[in-house]
Chains A and B, each alone.
Chain A
Amino acid sequence: MTPDRTRMTVDGVRTWWLLLRWQVLRTRRLLVTLILVQVALGIGMIYGFGFLVPHVTPEVAVFFATGAPTLGMLIIGLTVVPQETAMARVNGRFSYVAALPVPRLAPMCADVSYWLLVQLPGWVATLLLAVVHFHLHLRFDALVVPAVVLVSLSAAAVGYGVAVMFPPGATQQVSSFMSIALLLFSPINFPLDRLPSWLQDVHRALPVTYMADLIRGGLTGRYDVNPALAFAVVTAYCALGLVVAGRAARRRS
């Protein structure tokens, strides 16, 4: 790495950390409530899905327990990040930070990191409850860490791109639509073969199935798909998303 590149990387990490600190300080009064809501949502998902599906088999239990964090990461990226960004555009924080010497995607990375930290206790509660409630056996694979980073960044890149390119009002609508599509029509909490064949084909070309597989494999140690292929697909989508989001963030009116 050249000295210039090293300096840029160090500056980028430092800026990300400062923006993350800004976000934590700004919301500190709400932080405990936000974390408790995430924990409650996680607990609700395990119990709530139990009502939807009365006879939860071990296979279904794995989908419920590992689908919750995956869904959480995707909701952060596709719903929370664009809505936060849209709000920042309205109240002037977006253009204020844009006028500071920060890498263009640093605010997005800080937002993702913040919400991952907020959700983390909820994931732990969900998984612990699933172990107790469904007698689930979890086995963590180290690959879960890069998987979480890739899934979160991919979703956030798409959400951030939407928030920068669309007017704030439209962003709310688009992000709500994406969360409904994720909740109901994406093979995260259920296997791909439950969907109609045309939707299965669509999902084979989209990254969501591979994302869910990677997180499920990372938490159970058992991958239903080839993890190398899943990583390749998700990495490619992540890179594409970051390029598009980066271009959108650098765009000047």
Chain B
Amino acid sequence: MGMLVATDVTKTYRNGVRANDGVSIDVPAGEVFGLLGPNGAGKTTLVSQILGLSKPDSGTITIDGVDVVARPDVARRWCSYQPQAAAPVEGLSAREAVELVGRIRGGEAAQVRRRGAELLDRLELGEVADRPVPMSGGMARLTGFCMAAVVPGRVVVLDEPTNDVDPLRRRTLWSLIRSLADGGAAVLLVTHNVIEAERCVDRLAIVAGGRVLAHGAPAPLKAQLGAPLRLEVTLEPDVPAPRLPEGVVAAGCAGRRLVAHVQSSGVDAAVAWARQAQQGGVVAEFALMPASLEDVYASWVTTEGAA
């Protein structure tokens, strides 16, 4: 059984909005579990119930076998958390914020100081580490991550940890998230950043409309897509979207950018079509690549939206 197990969690707000509708997830210790979904999918509501801040209408949530719906105090002790909004660091230096939360979470002073310094150093937060200055969005978010990671709980909940963070630090952040799981925590990662999450998550659930649409490891989910490759095409300006060949299915079109899924049998036809369209002045450039988690996500969420 997983460290964090939510079973059939249902939550309807007073205004009638059903934020979670029979949601079940299971996150073992040592795993990074991604919770992917569009805005309003019910991700933050689920997080708030895991943390004991709100209560499900029905269903159960356990951490290490303990029913945390009945014992929200245990949830608070065993979960460390980075909120979607910036952590409340105003007036504090990053080091003060990290050490205060580490101590409140029960860490020993010396251990908290050492671990806090290590995290701040890894994320290159030197410029705000010891000065209580207003932080940029990215700095505040990284400090919020350090506050969650300084004394990690058995479950670490990270809600959009990479928002506003620059690419280099984001890379370090993903490696630190991975190391939290390697250290034995069950990491629940809520994110929109599907492409980067793919490198970090062991398993994931795609949620929309309050329900889990699909769950599993990235590879089997991608296999379910039925099209192992993705064709990305940039059209020349003011050219209408061309008709695609057999075995190539359009997955989305935004401005001049067209994305299509390509079945194994359709690879040759797809490349030939794209080359011809490029020579004919319809396509500016194209690329064929393996399907990504983003394709899986888009296919599920688009299907849900269309249903």
Alpha-carbon gap, A151 to B79, bound state (A): 36
A252 in contact with B100 (CB, 8 Å): no
Min C-beta distance of A107 to chain B, whole Å:
11
A25 in contact with B92 (CB, 8 Å): yes
Contact of B91 among A19, A21, A25, A102 (CB under 8 A): A25
Chain B 72-115 near chain A by CB (<8 Å), digits 1 or 0: 11001101010101111011100010001101111000000000
Min C-beta distance of B83 to chain A, whole Å:
6
| A29 interfacial by beta-carbon distance below 8 Å | yes
Contacts of A18 in B (CB 8 A): 100, 103-104
Interface residues of B (CB under 8 A from A): 51-55, 72-73, 76-77, 79, 81, 83, 85-88, 90-92, 96, 100-101, 103-106, 132
Contact of A100 among B54, B55, B72, B76 (CB under 8 A): B76
Min C-beta distance of B153 to chain A, whole Å:
9
Alpha-carbon gap, A163 to B197, bound state (A): 39
| A28 interfacial by beta-carbon distance below 8 Å | yes
B132 in contact with A25 (CB, 8 Å): yes
Which of A131-169 touch B at CB < 8 Å?
none
A100 and B101 in contact, given A25-B132, A92-B86 (Cβ under 8 angstroms) = yes
Interface residues of A (CB under 8 A from B): 11, 14-15, 18-19, 21-22, 25-29, 88, 91-93, 95-102, 252-253
Chain B interface mostly: loop
Chain A interface mostly: helix
A96 in contact with B104 (CB, 8 Å): no
A101 and B76 in contact, given A25-B132, A28-B91 (Cβ under 8 angstroms) = yes
A99 in contact with B91 (CB, 8 Å): no
B88 in contact with A92 (CB, 8 Å): yes
Contacts of A93 in B (CB 8 A): 88
B53 in contact with A26 (CB, 8 Å): no
B91 in contact with A27 (CB, 8 Å): yes
Contacts of A21 in B (CB 8 A): 100
A19 in contact with B53 (CB, 8 Å): no
Contacts of B83 in A (CB 8 A): 92, 95-96, 99
